[in-house]
C-alpha cells in the first residue's frame, strides 16, 4: 500500500529509499555534560570543550533551533512529514543505584538513540551516563506511533548499568595522543569494555536484510551480539575503521547513497578483509570528498567529516550541508541531485544532517542486496 500523510505507519529498511516521514531533533536545553569516562574518551584532546560543562549558551541554542526548524520546513515543503521531540529538562542529574552524573545531554541527535528496522523502533542502550534517559525526549512520539499504527513495534534494549566496569581506565588520561589512539583502535581496544551489551543506534547502518555495525567507543561486541539475537531475520556484520582515533558512530565514516554505492571516509577506509560482501555483489566504495572546513565549529564533539553526514531523500536526491561545497560537487558527479541545507551552526549539538534525523517511514521493502 502506498504511503499516505493521513495515516501513521512506521517502516524503514534502509538508508536510501524514498523518505516520507522523519523525526528532526531539537536543540532545546542542550547541555555540555560533566566529565564521565565514555564521553571524555571522545572529546578531542585539543578541544575547547575540555574541562567545562553546563547548559549551552542560549544564543547558540536559539541559532541551532532556527536551523533545525528551517530544515524541518524544507523537508515539509518536499512533502515529507516531520515530527519533533519534546525536550525534557536536561539540567536534571541522572542517578541510578549504580552511578550518578550531574546533568544530561539533550534531544539531539535522534539518530544516536532510535534505530528503525522495518516496523520497529528500538531505543539503544547508549553508553554515556548523561544519555541514559535520552529516550524520554522521544517517548511522546513513540507513544503516538504505537497508538496510531497497529503494526508498530516499540522496543527498548536492556538499560545498561554503566558502572566503572564498563570503561577501560586507560582512556581516562587527558593526554593519550593520536599515535597511541590509532594503535589502540587497530587492536580494537576501545574505551568501553565487554562488561555488558552497549550500543548507540548511530553505529548501525541498514541495508535491507543486512545490518552493518561499527565496533568502537560507543558500541561493543556484546552490543553487536545483542543486535544479532534481537534481529534473527537479519545478517549482522561487524566493521572497524582503524584510521579513526575517536571511533564513535558510523555516519561520518561510511555513507550508503543508493544500492551499489557507498561513500567512505578516506582517513577511515574499510579494511580489505571486511570488503568481501560489497565486492562480491558489485557495490562500489568510493572515497568521500574532503570537508570544506579545517576545524569543527566551537564546542563541537564531532570531526570535520560531518561533511559526509548526509541525509538521502531518495536514491537520486541527497541533502548536503550548504557550506560543504566539495561534498556537494562530488554528489553531483555521482548523479545525485543536491538539496542544500544550512546546518553548520547546529553541528555542536551532536552532528549533521543524518545525525539530527531519525527515519519513521521510507518506501520499499526488506531486500537482500548481498545474496
Ligand atoms: O567524525 O566525529 C561524528 C558522528 C556523529 N554522529 C566524527 C563522528
Structural domains of the chain, ranges and CATH numbers in brackets:
19-362 (3.75.10.10)
> For residues 155 and 152, what is the distance between their CA atoms, to the nearest angstrom?
10
The three-state secondary structure class of 228 is helix
> Per-residue b/e over 289-310, b at no fewer than 16 CB within 10 Å?
bbbbbeebeebbbbbbbbbbbb
H-helix or E-strand spanning residue 115: strand 114-117
CA distance 274 to 270: 7
Could you list the pLDDT tens digit for every one of the 371 residues in the chain?
789 989 999 999 999 999 999 999 999 999 999 998 888 888 888 888 887 899 999 999 999 999 999 999 999 999 999 999 999 999 999 999 999 999 999 999 999 999 999 999 999 999 999 999 999 999 999 999 999 999 999 999 999 999 999 999 999 877 899 999 999 999 999 999 999 999 999 999 999 999 999 999 999 999 999 999 999 999 999 999 999 999 999 999 999 999 999 999 999 999 999 999 999 999 999 999 999 999 999 999 899 999 999 999 999 999 999 999 999 999 999 999 999 999 999 999 999 999 999 999 999 999 999 99
How do strand 54-55 and strand 31-32 relate by DSSP bridges? antiparallel
Residues with CB under 6 A from ligand 1: 202, 248-249, 251-252, 302-303, 305, 351, 355
| Best mutation site among 46, 216, 305 for ligand 1 pocket (most ligand atoms within 8 Å of CB) | 305
3-state secondary structure of 66: helix
Cis peptide before 109 (omega within 30 of 0): yes
Q: Which sign does the torsion angle of CA 343, 219, 315, 12 carry? A: negative
Distance CA 201, CA 329 (A): 29
Contact 30, 90 (CB under 8 A): yes
Residues in CB range of 368: below 8 A, 6 or more apart: 208, 209, 210
Alpha carbon of 230 to ligand 1 centroid (Å): 26
Beta partners for residue 235, in sequence order: 210
From 47, 110, 253, give the residue whose CB has the most ligand 1 atoms within 8 Å, as the site to mutate. Answer: 253
N residues, the chain: 371
Amino acid at each position: 500500500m502506498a504511503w499516505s500523510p493521513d495515516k501513521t505507519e512506521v517502516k524503514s529498511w534502509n538508508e536510501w529509499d524514498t523518505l516520507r516521514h522523519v523525526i528532526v531533533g531539537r536543540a532545546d536545553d542542550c547541555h555540555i555534560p560533566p566529565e564521565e569516562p565514555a564521553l571524555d574518551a571522545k572529546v578531542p584532546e585539543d578541544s575547547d570543550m575540555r574541562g567545562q560543562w553546563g547548559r549551552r549558551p542560549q544564543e547558540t541554542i536559539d541559532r541551532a533551533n532556527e536551523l533545525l526548524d528551517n530544515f524541518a520546513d524544507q523537508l515539509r515543503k518536499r512533502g515529507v512529514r516531520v515530527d519533533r521531540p519534546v525536550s525534557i529538562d536536561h539540567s536534571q542529574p541522572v542517578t541510578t543505584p549504580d552511578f550518578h552524573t550531574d546533568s544530561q545531554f539533550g534531544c539531539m541527535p535522534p539518530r544516536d538513540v532510535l534505530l528503525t528496522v522495518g516496523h520497529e523502533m528500538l531505543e539503544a542502550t547508549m553508553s554515556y551516563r548523561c544519555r541514559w534517559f535520552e529516550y524520554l525526549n522521544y517517548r511522546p512520539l513513540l507513544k503516538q506511533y504505537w497508538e496510531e499504527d497497529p503494526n508498530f513495534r516499540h522496543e527498548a534494549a536492556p538499560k545498561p548499568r554503566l558502572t566503572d566496569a564498563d570503561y577501560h581506565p586507560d582512556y581516562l588520561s587527558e593526554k593519550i595522543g593520536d599515535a597511541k589512539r590509532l594503535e589502540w583502535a587497530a587492536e580494537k581496544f576501545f574505551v568501553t569494555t565487554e562488561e555488558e551489551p552497549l550500543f548507540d543506534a548511530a553505529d548501525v547502518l541498514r541495508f535491507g536484510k543486512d545490518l552493518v555495525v561499527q565496533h568502537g567507543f560507543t558500541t561493543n561486541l556484546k552490543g553487536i551480539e545483542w543486535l544479532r539475537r534481537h534481529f534473527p531475520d537479519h545478517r549482522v556484520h561487524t566493521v572497524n575503521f582503524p584510521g579513526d582515533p575517536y571511533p564513535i558512530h558510523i555516519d561520518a565514516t561510511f555513507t550508503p547513497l543508493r544500492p551499489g554505492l557507498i561513500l567512505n571516509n578516506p582517513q577511515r577506509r574499510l579494511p580489505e578483509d571486511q570488503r568481501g560482501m560489497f565486492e562480491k555483489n558489485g557495490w562500489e566504495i568510493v572515497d568521500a570528498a574532503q570537508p570544506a572546513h579545517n576545524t569543527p565549529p566551537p564546542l563541537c564533539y564531532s570531526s570535520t567529516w560531518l561533511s559526509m553526514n548526509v541525509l538521502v531523500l531518495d536514491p537520486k536526491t541527497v541533502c548536503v550541508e550548504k557550506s560543504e561545497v566539495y561534498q556537494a560537487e562530488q554528489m553531483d558527479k555521482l548523479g545525485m541531485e543536491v538539496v542544500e541545507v544550512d546546518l553548520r551552526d547546529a553541528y555542536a549539538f551532536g552532528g549533521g544532517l543524518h545525525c539530527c534525523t531519525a527515519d519513521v517511514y521510507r518506501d520499499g521493502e526488506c531486500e537482500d542486496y548481498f545474496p
